[in-house]
Amino acid sequence: MSTFELEEWLADAQRTRPVLLDVREPWEFEACRIAGSQSMPMRGIPARYGELKRDADIVMICHHGARSYQAGMFLEHMGFTSVINLQGGVAAWARDVDPSMPTY
């Protein structure tokens, strides 16, 4: 999913809001994040994925999109039915949607 598609989805009050699952390290999450994101560092997902609803729309987020893609593949393997990767991660979000967001 592109940053523009996610921005449109989040702005649409008629659509159910997705779970924004940020898989970056805690220090990265503290540095910047998309509003409403939930932090679940990638290394902790195998122990914590049970906290998530298997049928929820889950948008996976990381810095550039690679870690979130891998974590999303794991969730799909575990039976999650609507896992979507944010292309370009928070770096693309800061560039395309929210230029005021700090970057690193």
Q: Active-site residues: which are they?
A: 62
| Neighbour order of strands in the sheet with 58-61 | 38-39, 19-22, 58-61, 83-85
- Angstrom CA distances, 31 to 25, 45, 46, 94, stand at 10, 21, 24, 12
CA angle 43, 49, 55 (to 5 degrees): 140
